[in-house]
Amino acid sequence: MCSIVLLLLSGCASDKALESLPVNIDTVCIPNGYTVTYTGDIKMILETYCTDPGYGSCHQSGSDYDYTYYLGIKAEAEIDGPLEDQVLKFQTMPPPNSMGPKDLTDCELQKLSEWIYNWAPE
């Protein structure tokens, strides 16, 4: 009987210890082993900052720099290429006169960087 009580108490003690660990899921932008892809990550970032017609975005379908589909942005997504230079290095995109959101989050910037440095997987 005593061993059953001890077993139950030890189970509760370990549950309590796990519950008290400070875990903030929001701080993990790119989990270990995760591959940032155009479809899973980058497309949403581009839709927010670059291709939304409601903001008069200049990278819409039919423009010289159409970012509404993978091959439209793939050519720009090279190491030391236009996307890295304008968004990550010099932060000139989105431009100051954009009617849409201008400041990418640290996580969005990290995802763009990872995507470019992993050869921009679809």
pLDDT in tens, 91-119: 999 988 888 898 999 999 999 999 999 99
pLDDT in tens, 73-98: 998 999 999 999 999 999 999 988 88
Domain count of the fold of the chain: 1
**Higher pLDDT residue, 49 or 26?**
49
| Residue 33, amino acid | G
pLDDT of residue 16: 46
DSSP per position, the chain: -HHHHHHHHHHHHHHHHHHTS---GGG-SS-TT----IIIIIHHHHHHHTS-GGGT-SSSTTSTT--SSHHHHHTT-STTSHHIIIIIIS---S-TT-SS-----HHHHHHHHHHHHTT---
Q: Does the pLDDT at position 20 exceed 50?
A: no
**Higher pLDDT residue, 60 or 4?**
60
Residue 12 placed within a domain: no
pTM of the entire predicted model: 0.74
Residue 78 placed within a domain: yes
Residue 98 placed within a domain: yes
Residue 24 placed within a domain: no
Residue 84 placed within a domain: yes
Give the range of the structural domain holding residue 99, as residue numbers without chain letter.
41-118
Residue 1 placed within a domain: no
CA-to-CA distance for 48 and 102, rounded, in angstroms? Answer: 10
Residue 60 placed within a domain: yes
- Going from the C-alpha of 5 to that of each of 14, 17, 72, the distances in angstroms are 14, 18, 65
| Residue 92, amino acid | T
Residue 36 placed within a domain: no
Q: Is the peptide bond before 22 cis (omega within 30 degrees of 0)?
A: no
